[in-house]
Amino acid sequence: MANITAAMVKDLREKTGAGMMDCKAALNETNGDIEAAIDWLRKKGLSKAAKKSGRIAAEGLIGIWNEGVKAAIVEVNSETDFVARNDHFQGLVKMVAHAAWKTGEDVEAIKAAKAGDGTIGDAIASAIATIGENMTLRRARVLTVADGVIGAYLHNAVGEGLGKIGVLVALESSGDKTQLQALGRLIAMHVAATNPVALDLAGVPADVVAREKAILAEKNAGKPAHVIEKIAESGLKSFAKENCLLEQVSIHAEHAGKTVAQAVKESEGKVGSSVKVASFARFALGEGIEKEETDFAAEVAQQAGLKKD
């Protein structure tokens, strides 16, 4: 029997997209012959993943795994919304979210994490082969607090911990955890609806601040520099009210007219301690992915050898 090395398994995985354990089995069955192993995997229907890896995957699910003071949020994409309703795919997303909770935010580290007899990467490749669509683990975030809670909200939920928009909000407080969870969920719902850029102006990326200043300067070209500086300062305050979580007006009726920061301060009486919004994460399914636009009628006509009117 040939000596099957890790390099041989890696090479076969890259050529076929099949799972690690399947590649190892194929090499054992074919005495280390790579080409024969590829054929073996094709016959078993396990090399489909590679053929589908170039197709756009912009559907899928957001998954959350939350255990109080630590929570993970992931985006796992598929090609169609139909697959997102598949029990196998939903189970995969939950598995990935749990792996992220244990492993951290790095996508490659998550894919290398142990899952049964293989890895998360193997599980994804196996799901691709079984379900027949391209799937990708796109991103992950993990939030933690030393004392407090991670509030969570999923919009368009399709099951426990699964939805189309997911939000985590880290609240630091020594107060009542039940009250904190309720507050965290309210803030998470607000984040889902408003999609803030950052917690406050200090957290806004420097390039975004620079762009806003440049726009204001261009609008007020010709005015003295000190005047433009004051206009920019005022403009950034307005930007913060629209785009920074703590400065935004709460969407909830019980906090009508109050900013999120004011609502949090007001809640401290119920919580029984001071509350700090430490961080948040918001994942909306497929955001930023350029989806392929298809003309179904034209596609059918082309296949039939006809021209679309």
Token readout for 143 is: 């939030």
Q: Which amino acid is at 142?
A: V
Residue 270 pLDDT level (bands cut at 50, 70, 90) = very high
Q: What is the pLDDT of residues 200-229, one digit of tens each?
A: 999 999 998 998 888 888 888 888 988 988
Place of tokens 């400065």: 247
Burial status of residue 257 (CB atoms within 10 A of its CB: 0-12, 13-18, 19 or more): exposed
Q: Which two tokens stand for residue 150?
A: 């991670």
Task: Give the global pTM.
Answer: 0.75
User: Is the Cβ–Cβ distance between 76 and 63 less than 8 Å?
Assistant: yes
Q: Map residue 116 onto helix, strand or coil.
A: coil
Give the count of beta carbons closer than 10 Å to the beta carbon of residue 269. Answer: 10
- Mean pLDDT, rounded, for 16-25: 79
Of the candidates 276, 226, 216, 219, the one whose C-alpha atom is nearest the C-alpha of residue 246 is 276
Q: What is the pLDDT of residue 198?
A: 96
Token pair, residue 148, equals: 């407090």
Query: Who has greater pLDDT, 154 or 117?
Result: 154
Domains of the chain, start order: 6-52 (1.10.8.10), 59-200+244-284 (3.30.479.20), 203-242 (no CATH)
pLDDT digits (tens, 9 = 90+) for 290-305: 655 545 455 445 545 5
